Structure 1
Amino acid sequence: MDQPIHPFSELFAQLGLPADESSIRQFIASHAPLRSDIDLADAPFWTESQAVFLKEEKLEDADWAELVDQLNLALRG
């Protein structure tokens, strides 16, 4: 069974954030660059539920793991 493919914007919607292209760009611009010694889920701008979601998806290599990796890279740039 193939894993579903989600667009990057759906990750933002899943996190309860505005998911339009302009809002995504603004979010990344306002929070990047994330220091290399901080795990993505431990960044201070997440709510507790957002942080839990990011940790769980990464640990479980779940549906959203690839997009979480993409978000991590975008915030490190």
Structure 2
Amino acid sequence: MEANHHRFSELFAQLGLPADPAGIATFIQRHSPLSANVLLAEAPFWTPAQATLLREQLLVDADWAEVVDQLNAALRG
């Protein structure tokens, strides 16, 4: 089975956030830097549904894990 490669913008759309380049940049600027001792899905700015989506993507869906990791790195940069 071939893995799907999702775009950063697709993750933002799944999270119900603006998925255009300006919206993504604004979100990352607003919420960075995320403390090293806070797990991505436990950051205080997520809604419960968004946090659940992030947890599930990392735990059960390898197709999304790479782009979730990219978000994690972007918020910690």
State the TM bucket, normalised to the shorter chain.
over 0.9
Q: Normalising by structure 1, report the TM-score.
A: 0.95
CA-atom RMSD, angstroms? 0.8
Identify the residue that residue 48 of structure 1 maps to in structure 2.
48
Identify the residue that residue 34 of structure 1 maps to in structure 2.
34
Q: % of aligned pairs identical? A: 62
**Aligned mates of 2:70, 2:32 — CA distance in 1:** 13
Q: What aligned pairs does 1:1-77 form with structure 2 within 5 A after superposition?
A: 1-77=1-77
Question: Higher helix proportion, which one?
Answer: 2
Find the residue that maps to 1:63 and give its secondary structure.
Answer: helix
Query: Which ranges in structure 1 are unaligned for 5 or more consecutive residues?
Result: none
Query: Which ranges in structure 2 are unaligned for 5 or more consecutive residues?
Result: none
**Aligned mates of 1:62, 1:52 — CA distance in 2:** 15
**Shift in Å, 1:19:** 0.2
Which deviates more from structure 2 when the two are superposed, residues 48-57 or residues 61-70? 61-70
Q: Which letter maps to 1:4?
A: N
Q: Which letter maps to 1:20?
A: D
Q: Normalising by structure 2, report the TM-score.
A: 0.95
After TM superposition, which residue ranges in structure 1, 4 or more long, deviate above 4 angstroms?
none
Q: Which letter maps to 1:69?
A: D
